[in-house]
Amino acid sequence: MKRIPLLFLLLTAALLGRSQAYIDVRLEKEMAQRAHDEQIEVVVLMHSQYDRTLLNHRVAYCPSRAERRERVVHELKAFSEASQNDLKQYLSGLEQHRLVSAPKTLWTANALSFAATKDVIQDLARRPDIAMIGLDHKENLIPETTPARAASPDRETTPNVYQVNADQVWELGYRGQGVVVAVVDSGVNYDHLDLADHLWDGGEAFPHHGYDVVNDDDDPMDDKGHGTHCAGTVLGDGTAGSLTGMAPEATLMCVKSIDADGFGGAVNIAGGMEWSVEHGCDLISMSLGMVNAEITDKELLRRTCCSVLDAGIVAAVCAGNEGHIQFYCPIPNNIRVPASCPPPYLDPDQLENPGEVSCVIAVGAVDNHDIAAYFTSRGPVTWTETEFGDYPFEPGIGLIRPDLCAPGVGIKSLDYLTTDGYCDMDGTSQATPCLAGVIALMLNKNPELLPADICRILEETAVKLTPHKSNVTGIGRIDALAAIQQVPTWDALSESATTDIMVFPNPTHNQFIIRCADMTEASVYTPDGRLVEEITTDGRGNLEGLCPGIYVLRVTTKQGVIARKIIKM
């Protein structure tokens, strides 16, 4: 008799010891109502996940944010392909017997979506490589308040631009040039005159400037109206009359994740985000989300948002418009998912109850007097019931949501039914693209800003509406001018920049010295923005205990902030 290798025995024992995959409640109810030969749309989350610490270490040496994004996309795709190989072979055999549909991989979350009979679903739940199976259900993803109202095409700059001081940033020369903003929504009327001359060039593969996740085609034309209105607030340039965009010279990438009725699911959202990242966006604006989401939906979207962060991309996401209907979705479930995912930077108030981070900057809505809109969704949220297990609430303060607020009442922007018309809308959906436009201005000044830097600067410069970070308006209302003034110039991050600062030795094994005549403080950050070392004013730093790699040294002087790369060998 052949001897069985010890490794095989250990692996078999480990697999047998694993519990059955979780089938979410909504899917269980759906299975109870279906015949045995009916296929049900499902999403499957694999057990294995890429170690984020290892991933960030591997991409730390990337010289630019664009190269970081490409490397992360490559690594995560390869990881998903390898870990899903056995499952896909199994599904391929079932597909030939029409028991499942062709699976689609969501590489940002190491997940798959497909249709399967309930017998197959029960078999899948016994596989040790699967963590969770959920129903790929569709719901209204648009947090609407009142219907759109027609607005005149007067030649004007809309009031929300002035409220956040975006117009004063334009005077400094920053209008969003060269920044690609993915608007993941109901699609965009890319023929509108205020958008037509600064659309993303998708080449022959994507001739309509984006992608339709819902219908899996290359035409993301808006058939609902929501996405076009949001796009106008990001970058409408006023060609047809009214200048509505915060960053009127940014580039628009159109991504449709919502159907004509405003419906979609977690798979649609994740698919839109990962397509945007893969095709080169610099940031994501997403005025959508799920109410009372199942655990599978939450985990799928948080995994996705973590991967987007690791790729160096930030996402502005609406908090939701359910603040006044707590009976339907009470705290800690009042914030829509994925706005409930954590931000890339944890401010001092949140550090009382910290957890992991993701790409999401959650946005609430205020009126033109900076008063919280009655509908804006309220935090906190918690993730204790998920695989992440962080941000406990009662006991604990939970995760404070939202992060910031922006104008979201009576917002004039583009009407999708015309190529030159406008309409008014209310909602955190309108506040979100306002923030996205401001982020585009920041990236215009410094294309190498990482999500944690963006979030930190926005929070530190916001107009404070409460003494501490609030679960209604966050840290305060965004101020574009104050934020842009705190953004270090791109040259300051360049190794070729000529400044009055010396760092030696660099690279270093541990200790280094900073020489800067008017230094007031200095700190060392990881590439994803986590503070790891504060340096005294004598300029002596120490990287002992940190993994080898590239870190960011940020030196504050009387003239401003200087950033340098420092390498630990």
Cis peptide preceding 348, ω within 30 of 0: no
- Three-state DSSP at 365 gives strand
For residue 329, the 8-state DSSP code is S
pLDDT of residue 3: 38
For every residue of 114-182, DSSP letters joined together read EEEEHHHHHHHTT-TTEEEEEE---EE-----S--EEE---SEE-HHHHHTTHHHHHTTT-S-TT-EEE
Residue pair 37/100 in contact (Cβ under 8 Å)? The answer is: no
Q: What is the pLDDT of residue 1?
A: 35
Residue 292 zone, left/alpha/beta (φ > 0; ψ -120 to 50; rest): left
Token output for 161: 């631009």
Question: pLDDT tens, 302-320?
Answer: 999 999 999 999 999 999 9
Q: Where do we find the tokens 């499957």?
A: 44
SS (H, E, C) 227-262: HHHHHHHHHCCCCCCEECCCCCCCEEEEEECCCCCC
Identify whether the C-beta of residue 466 lies closer than 8 Å to the C-beta of residue 473. Answer: yes
Sheet holding 149-151, edge to edge: 149-151, 422-425, 411-414
How far is the C-alpha of 432 from the C-alpha of 454, rounded, in Å? Answer: 15
CATH 1.10.3720.10 fits 140-484, yes or no: no
- Confidence at residue 164, expressed as pLDDT on a 0 to 100 scale: 98
Closest CA to 402 of 456, 346, 470, 461: 470
- Are 176 and 480 in contact, with CB atoms under 8 Å apart? no
Banded model confidence at residue 442, pLDDT cuts 50, 70, 90: very high
Q: Which residue has the tokens 């409220």?
A: 163
**pLDDT score of 561:** 75
- Summarize pLDDT for 446-468 with one digit per residue, the tens: 999 999 999 999 999 999 999 99
Neighbours of 453 (CB within 10 A): 24
For residues 71 and 148, the answer to whether their CB atoms sit within 8 Å is: no
Structure tokens at 142: 């648009």
Domains 140-484 and 492-568 share a fold: no
Average pLDDT over residues 50-65: 86
Is pLDDT larger for residue 176 or for residue 59? 176
| Closest C-alpha among 181, 177, 161 to residue 490 | 177
What CA–CA distance (Å, rounded) separates 259 from 186? 6
Q: What is the pLDDT, as a whole number, of residue 500?
A: 64
Task: Label residue 8 by pLDDT band (50, 70, 90).
Answer: very low
At residue 194, the 3 state secondary structure works out as: coil
Residue 565: how many CB atoms within 10 A of its CB?
18
Structure-model confidence comparison of residues 477 and 537, the more confident one: 477
Check pLDDT > 80 for residue 60.
Answer: no
The architecture of the domain spanning 492-568 is: Sandwich (2.60)
Which residue type does 339 have? A
Q: In this prediction, what percent of the chain has a pLDDT beyond 90?
A: 77
Helices 52-59 and 65-96: angle between axes, nearest 10 degrees: 130
The arithmetic mean of pLDDT across residues 506-534, rounded, is: 81
d(CA 90, CA 121): 13
What stretch of H or E contains 370?
Answer: none
The DSSP secondary structure of 8-27, one letter per residue, reads HHHHHHHHHTSPPPEE-HHH
**pLDDT, tens digit, 9 for 90 and up, residues 144-200:** 777 778 887 778 999 999 999 999 999 999 999 999 999 999 999 999 999 999 999
Among 492, 486, 463, residue whose Cα is nearest residue 405: 463
Asked if residue 19 has pLDDT above 80, the reply is no
Rg (CA), the chain: 24
Task: Kindly tell me if the per-residue pLDDT of 391 is higher than 90.
Answer: yes
The tally of CA atoms less than 13 A away on the side-chain side of residue 402 is 35
Average pLDDT along the chain: 91
Provide mean pLDDT across the span 424-430: 97
Tell me the C-alpha distance between 451 and 436, whole Å.
12
Provide mean pLDDT across the span 42-54. 95
Residue 4 has pLDDT above 60, yes or no: no
Place of tokens 């920044």: 179
Residue-level pLDDT at 527: 65
pLDDT tens digits along 518-529? 788 888 887 666
**First-residue to last-residue Cα distance in the chain:** 51
What confidence score (pLDDT) does residue 63 get?
78
Six-digit token string for 279: 């095709």
**C-alpha dist (Å) from residue 508 to 144, 347, 498, 533:** 54, 30, 21, 15
What is the DSSP pairing of strand 422-425 with strand 149-151?
Answer: antiparallel
Q: What is the pLDDT of residues 193-208, one digit of tens each?
A: 999 999 999 999 999 9
Q: Where are the beta strands (DSSP E) in 383-458?
A: 404-407, 411-414, 422-425
Distance CA 511, CA 503 (A): 11
User: What pLDDT is stored for residue 243 in this prediction?
Assistant: 97
Is 247:264 a contact under the CB 8 Å cutoff?
Answer: no
Sequence ranges of the domains in the chain? 18-137, 140-484, 492-568
Region 101-120: what's the mean pLDDT?
A: 97
- pLDDT above 90 (res 328): yes
How many Å apart are CA 402 and CA 387, to the nearest integer? 22
Give residue 309's pLDDT.
96
% of the chain beyond a pLDDT of 70: 94
- Can you tell me the distance from the alpha carbon of 103 to that of 111, in angstroms, rounded to the nearest whole number? 10
CA distance 295 to 301: 10
**What is the per-residue pLDDT for 534?**
86
Q: Count CA within 13 A, CB hemisphere, residue 190.
A: 25
Count CB neighbours of 494 within 10 A.
14
Is it the case that residue 498 has pLDDT exceeding 50? no
Band of residue 6 on the pLDDT scale cut at 50, 70, 90: very low
Spatial distance between the Cα atoms of 280 and 282, rounded to a whole number of angstroms:
7
Q: Which residue has the higher pLDDT, 330 or 531?
A: 330
For CA atoms 72, 318, 238, 186, give the dihedral sign: positive
**Residue 207 in 3-state DSSP?**
coil
Give CA–CA dist 362/364, Å, rounded: 7
